[in-house]
Amino acid sequence: MTSQTKILELTTFAFLDIETTGGNSSHDRITEIGIRFWRDGEMLGEWQTLLNPETRISPFIERFTGISNEMVAAAPRFEDIADDLEAQLEGKVFVAHNARFDYGFIKSEFRRLGRVFSAKVLCTVKLSRKLYPEFRRHNMDALIARHNLAQVQRHRAMGDVAAMLSFFERALAGHGPDAMNSALGTLLQRPSIPSHLPSDVLHDLPRAPGVYRFYGENDVLLYVGESTNIAQRVASHFSGDHNTSKGVRMSESLRRVDWTETGGEDRVKYNLRMQIAFHNLRLRTWPWKGPVGVVERNPENDRKDILIVYNWMHVATVHDHHELEDLSLGSQAVTFDLDSYRLIAKTLMAGSRERSLQIIELDAVGSPDVMMP
C-alpha cells in the first residue's frame, strides 16, 4: 500500500468551524471555535470555546449567529487559548467548509500575536465538488438537503462541525475508502513551494482576477503577472509549468508574493499596464547561483583586481585567486544603491553576453549581510 491509499487510516482530521464578527479577517475577529477530531472512522474527541473578540458584535451578526456581546464578555481572548489551540491542531489536517475563510481567520489571529500558524488544509467544498461534480451547489445547506443529513444548529461552530463531519462520513460510505483516499490525495497534494516561502502561501491568495508580484531579497521586484485567478496562476509557477532556467532562478530568488485583487479582467489589464509602465524600475533576477568575481587587468602595470559582486552589489575586491580561498562574505556589510545597481547590471549582463569580461562563479563563498539605505 502507498501512503496515499492509507490517508484515512493514518491521518487525524480536525474538523473545524469558527464564528466571527464579520467577513474580513484583517479587522474582524473570531467569537467561537469548535473542533472534532476524527481518524479511520473513529471520533477521537472535541474542543470548543467562545472567544471575546475585543470588539463589539453588531446586531446583524448577533441575529445571524446567536452569539451576543453578553455571551462573550467573560470568554477568553484568542491570545489566552492560542497555545492550546496550536497544540490541538499540531500534526493534523485542518478541515473546514470553505476553508480559506476559517483558515485565514485563524492565521490572522496568530499573526496579531506575532506568530505564524501553518497546517495542511482540506476544504470540504472542494471535496464535494470533486466527488459530486454533477451538482452545482455545494454550500452546507445544500449538502444537508442533498444527503439528508441530520439538522443541526447552523451558524454555531459545533453545529456546522457536526454537519461537515456527517457529510464526510456519508461521502466515505457512498464512494468507499479507495475513491475517498484518491480524492483526498489529490486535494491534499501541494505544488512544490519555493523554500524561502511559507508552505501555505497559496492559501492566502484570492481565487479572483488581479495582478500578482514576486519579490526577492531586499524586496526586489522580480516579476509581475496578471490572471483571472491569482491563486491558480501563482500555483502554476510552482508546479513546473514554468520550469525554464529563468523560472528556476526566479524560484530560487523568490522571498515574497504580493497581489492586487481587481473587480474584473478589464481592471486587471489596466493595472498590468501600470505595472509595465514602471517596468524599468524592476530589478533583474540575479542570474548566478552565488557571488561572482569579475577579473580586471591593467596591461600597463600588470595589476589584476577581482571584484566580488553579489545580487548586483560590489561587496569586496581581491587581487589574486589565493585571496578568494580566505574570503568570507558573511562578515561583509553592504548597502544597496540603485545607481550602482544599474551600472553593475548593465556591465555584467553585457560583458557576460559578449564574453568581454572574465567572470568567475564563487559558489562556495558565503553571502554578505545587506543594509538597505
Cβ-proximal residues to 309 (8 Å cutoff; 6+ apart), any chain: 291, 292, 293, 294, 315, 344, 348
CB–CB of 352/309 below 8 Å? Answer: no
What's the pLDDT at 302?
73
pLDDT at 76: 98
Burial of 103 per CB tally in 10 Å (0-12, 13-18, 19+): buried
Over the stretch 157-202, which tens digit does the pLDDT of each residue have?
A: 999 999 999 999 999 999 999 999 999 999 987 666 776 787 778 8
Q: What is the pTM of this model?
A: 0.59
Q: What is the pLDDT of residue 269?
A: 60
- Partner residues linked to 298 by β-bridges: 303
CA angle 84, 125, 259 (to 5 degrees): 80
| CATH number for the domain whose boundaries are 4-188 | 3.30.420.10
Residues of the chain with pLDDT under 70: 1-5, 190-192, 195, 239-249, 263-283, 325-340, 354, 363-373
Is residue 37 within 8 Å of residue 72, measured between CB atoms? no
Contact criterion met (CB below 8 Å) for 210 and 259:
yes
Per-domain residue ranges for the chain? 4-188, 201-281, 292-371
Q: Look at residue 243 in the predicted model and tell me its pLDDT.
A: 46
The answer to whether domain 4-188 and domain 201-281 are alike in fold is no
Secondary-structure class of domain 201-281 per CATH = alpha beta
